[in-house]
Amino acid sequence: MLDPTPVTFSNLSNGYTVRSPFWVEFGIRGMGVMPAGNKMDKTGHHHMLIDTRLPSDVFVPLPFSDTYRHFGKGQTGTALDLPVGRHTLRLLFADHDHRPYFVFSPEITITVSGRRDELPAPRINADQFDDTCRAWYQDEMTTPLSSTVKSAYLKNIRGGESVESPVLVKFGVVGYGVAPARSLVKDAGYFVLNVAKKNVPISKVSLENGETETILDLLPGEHSFEIEFVSTDGKRLLHDQLPITVVKGRDKGPDEKKETGPRALQSTYKPSRP
Q: State the pLDDT at residue 147.
A: 79
Which residue among 73, 107, 141 closes a domain? 141
Are residues 61 and 31 both part of a single domain? yes
Q: Are the C-beta atoms of residues 104 and 7 closer than 8 Å to each other?
A: yes
| 128 is a domain residue | yes
Question: Closest Cα partner for 2 from 156, 107, 178?
Answer: 156
pLDDT class of 272 with cuts at 50, 70, 90:
very low
| Overall domain count for the chain | 2
Residue 273 domain flag: no
Instruction: Convert 52-78 to b/e letters by CB count within 10 Å (16 or more is b).
Output: eeebeeeeeebeeeeebbbbbbbbbbb
Judge if 156 and 261 occupy the same domain.
yes
One domain for residues 158 and 131:
no
pLDDT at 5 exceeding the cut of 80: no
pLDDT at 264: 44
Residues 78 and 104 in one domain: yes
Could you list the residue range(s) of the whole structural domain that residue 213 is in?
151-265
- CA–CA separation, 192 vs 229, rounded Å? 6
Report the DSSP beta bridge partners of residue 43: 32
Q: Please name which of 12, 14, 179 lies closest in space to residue 79, comparing C-alpha atoms.
A: 12
CATH code of 234's domain: 2.60.40.1220
Q: What is the pLDDT of residue 148?
A: 85
In tens, the pLDDT along 126-185 reads 999 999 999 999 999 999 998 789 999 999 999 999 999 999 999 999 999 999 999 999
Residue 255 scores a pLDDT above 50: no
- Quick one: pLDDT at residue 250? 54
Q: State the amino acid at position 225 in one-letter form.
A: F
Same-domain pairing of 95 and 177: no
**Above pLDDT 70, what percent of the chain?**
89
Concatenating the DSSP letter of every residue in 63-115 gives: P-SSSEEE-TT--SEEEE---SEEEEEEEEEE-TTSPEEEEEPPPEEEEEEEE
Q: How far apart are CA 128 and CA 103, in angstroms?
A: 40
Residue 234 in this model has a pLDDT that exceeds 60: yes
Check whether residue 11 and residue 61 sit in a common domain: yes
Q: Give the integer Cα–Cα distance in Å for 126 and 131.
A: 10
Shared domain for 63 and 40, answered yes or no, is: yes
Give the mean pLDDT of the chain: 90
- Mark whether 65 and 162 lie in a shared domain: no
The reply to whether 71 falls in a domain is: yes
Specify whether 185 is located in the same domain as 222. Answer: yes
What is the pLDDT at residue 261?
47
Q: Is residue 146 part of a domain?
A: no
For residues 55 and 11, membership in a common domain is answered with yes
**pLDDT, tens only, 30-39:** 999 999 999 9
Tell me: pLDDT of 262 over 50: no
User: How open is the CA angle 149-138-249, to the nearest 5 degrees?
Assistant: 95
Considering the domain architecture, whether residues 128 and 183 belong to the same structural domain is answered as no
Confirm whether pTM is higher than 0.85: yes
Q: For residues 195 and 188, what is the distance between their CA atoms, to the nearest angstrom?
A: 23
Judged against a pLDDT cut of 50, whether residue 254 lies above it is answered with no
Where residue 83 sits, what CATH number does that domain have? 2.60.40
Cα distance between residue 124 and residue 52, in whole Å: 34
Tens of pLDDT, residues 87-129: 999 999 999 999 999 899 999 999 999 999 999 999 999 999 9
Q: Average of pLDDT values for 24-28?
A: 96
Q: Is the pLDDT of residue 268 over 80?
A: no
Mean pLDDT of 236-261: 71
Q: Quick check: 77 pLDDT over 90?
A: yes
**Within this chain, do residues 28 and 106 fall inside the same structural domain, yes or no?**
yes
With 60 as the cut, is the pLDDT of residue 3 above it?
Answer: no
**Residue 271 pLDDT > 90:** no
